[in-house]
């Protein structure tokens, strides 16, 4: 018997996994439901709204050329809103995309810069301080592309909330607080599957991270994101974590900071619990990715330029037969 088997026999919970989400800075959360963070079982019988729109985005970038050691990057970002009809089929209602070059324009020789500016109408500049250090340069590129994507998603979310029907909900992948107007909308939900930012500590944190499947935590208020707009949030466990890691099947839900959110947290959680099926496979984080959001991402991938698709592992020619 191994040492960990002995520990499990002694009362430890079986688990697996390795590196977790990257840590992110987060403010302390204030509990708004009860006096202590508790695990609440979900309400029976999910009330799924008749009409729900789902928003997700994607990003792709590839190095296309080098100016000396400075990579010249081709980037593509896109976001879409797809509305679910009464048969459960998603239909696209809005889609936005942007293709642009990422380059340290100021550091480029005049001929190359003129050529780039002439050929690529949309250029995102990289600060000159990163030139000469390709690894840091690429981190910066990634950051630029991610920010551009977040901006695109925020714009689309704001537009989508304006078009929402009377009883229609908007569920978006990521934080709700990126946009004040979206964060204050009564029928907008943010579904967060990365848990680098921890808002809880001590016993509350332990209760949240060991939440049983089919339970949610008490609601707490968080401030975060670019806009620092306050939202209400809670954790929801979709699949049992025992035997996996602590974050397995764990979602954090964001909704507007309003008493009504607290009142409806169980009802909304039961709805999201019902969204476990179909499984969002083959996505690696299917345990906490809602299938409709996965489908929006797949839709965007299908629209993305083929040359930006993920590079093959081997660069040898490959036949299909």
Does the footprint of other proteins cover residue 90 (CB under 8 A)? yes
Interacting residue with other proteins among 1, 135, 277, 314 (CB under 8 A): 277
Residue 303 is a binding residue for other proteins (CB under 8 A): no
DSSP state of 43: P
Binding residue for other proteins (CB under 8 A) from 204, 220, 291, 300?
A: 291
| Bond before 278 cis per omega within 30 degrees | yes
**Whose Cβ is closer to other proteins: residue 111's or residue 319's?**
319
Sorted by sequence, the CB contacts under 8 Å of residue 62 that are 6+ apart come out as 73, 74, 307, 308, 311
Report the residue number, 70 or 280, with the smaller CB distance to other proteins.
Answer: 280
CA 16, CA 248: separation in Å to the nearest integer?
10
What is the DSSP-derived secondary structure letter of residue 211? P
Q: Based on the shown chain and the rule CB under 8 A, indicate whether residue 304 belongs to the binding site for other proteins.
A: no
Q: In Å, what is the CA distance from 127 to each residue of 131, 137, 138?
A: 8, 9, 12
Task: Give the contact letters, 37-76, x = binds to other proteins (CB under 8 A), - = no.
Answer: -----------x---x------------------------
Is residue 284 a contact residue for other proteins (CB under 8 A)? no
Instruction: Specify the stretch interacting with other proteins by CB under 8 A; choose among 25-33, 222-230, 278-286, 304-312.
Output: 278-286
**Least CB distance to other proteins at residue 182 (A):** 22
CB atoms within 10 A of CB 257: 21
Beta pairing, strands 90-103 & 70-84: antiparallel
Nearer residue to other proteins within complex by CB, 117 or 245 = 245
The CA-based angle 195-196-202, given to 5 degrees, is 80
Query: What is the token pair recorded at 34?
Result: 């009860």
Q: What are phi and psi of 266, to 5 degrees?
A: -70, -40
Q: Which of 118, 202, 317, 320 binds other proteins (CB under 8 A)?
A: 320
> Of 275, 297, 300, 304, which one interacts with other proteins (CB under 8 A)?
275
| Residue 274 sits in the site that holds other proteins (CB under 8 A) | yes
Residue number, 144 or 270, with CB nearest to other proteins: 270
Show contacts with other proteins in window 127-166 (CB under 8 A). Answer: none
Q: How far is the CB of 208 from other proteins (least distance, A)?
A: 24
- For residue 65, the SS3 value is strand
Considering beta carbons, is residue 21 or 298 the nearer one to other proteins? 298
Q: Residue 255: beta bridge partners?
A: 232
Annotate 259-277 with b (16+ C-beta within 10 A) or e (fewer): eebbebbbebbbbbbebbe
The residue written with tokens 């500016």 in the block is: 117
Q: Does residue 276 interact with other proteins by CB under 8 A?
A: yes
Q: In the block, which residue shows the tokens 């992948």?
A: 173
User: Contact region for other proteins (CB under 8 A) — 129-137, 168-176, 254-262, 277-285?
Assistant: 277-285
Q: Which of 282, 311, 313, 315 binds other proteins (CB under 8 A)?
A: 282
Q: Which stretch binds other proteins (CB under 8 A): 82-90, 204-212, 252-260, 304-312?
A: 82-90
Question: In the beta sheet, which residues pair with residue 191?
Answer: 173, 253
| Residues at the contact surface with other proteins, assessed by CB under 8 A | 48, 52, 84, 87-90, 274-279, 281-282, 291-292, 295, 298, 319-321
């Amino acid at each position: 018997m191994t040492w960990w088997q002995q520990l499990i026999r002694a009362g430890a919970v079986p688990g697996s996994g390795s590196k977790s989400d990257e840590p992110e800075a987060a403010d302390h959360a204030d509990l708004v439901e009860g006096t202590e963070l508790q695990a609440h079982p979900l309400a029976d019988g999910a009330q799924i709204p008749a009409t729900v729109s789902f928003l997700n985005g994607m990003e792709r970038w590839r190095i296309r050329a080098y100016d000396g050691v400075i990579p010249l990057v081709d980037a593509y970002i896109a976001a879409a809103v797809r509305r679910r009809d009464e048969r459960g089929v998603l239909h696209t209602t809005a889609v936005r995309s942007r293709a642009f070059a990422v380059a340290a324009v100021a550091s480029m020789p005049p001929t190359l810069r003129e050529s780039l500016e002439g050929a690529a109408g949309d250029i995102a500049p990289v600060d000159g301080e990163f030139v000469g250090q390709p690894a840091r340069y690429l981190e910066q590129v990634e950051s630029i592309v991610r920010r551009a994507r977040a901006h695109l998603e925020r714009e689309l979310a704001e537009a989508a909330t304006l078009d929402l029907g009377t009883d229609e909900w908007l569920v978006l992948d990521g934080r709700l607080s990126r946009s004040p107007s979206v964060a204050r909308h009564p029928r907008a939900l943010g579904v967060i599957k990365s848990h680098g930012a921890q808002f809880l500590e001590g016993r509350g944190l332990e209760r949240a991270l060991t939440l049983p499947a089919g339970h949610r935590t008490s609601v707490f208020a968080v401030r975060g994101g670019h806009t620092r707009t306050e939202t209400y949030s809670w954790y929801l466990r979709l699949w049992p974590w025992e035997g996996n890691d602590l974050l397995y099947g764990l979602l954090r839900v964001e909704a507007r900071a309003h008493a009504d959110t607290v009142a409806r947290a169980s009802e909304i959680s039961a709805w999201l619990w019902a969204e476990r099926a179909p499984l969002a496979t083959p996505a690696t984080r299917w345990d906490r990715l809602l299938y409709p959001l996965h489908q929006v991402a797949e839709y965007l991938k299908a629209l993305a330029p083929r040359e930006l698709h993920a590079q093959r592992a081997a660069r040898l020619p490959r036949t299909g037969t």
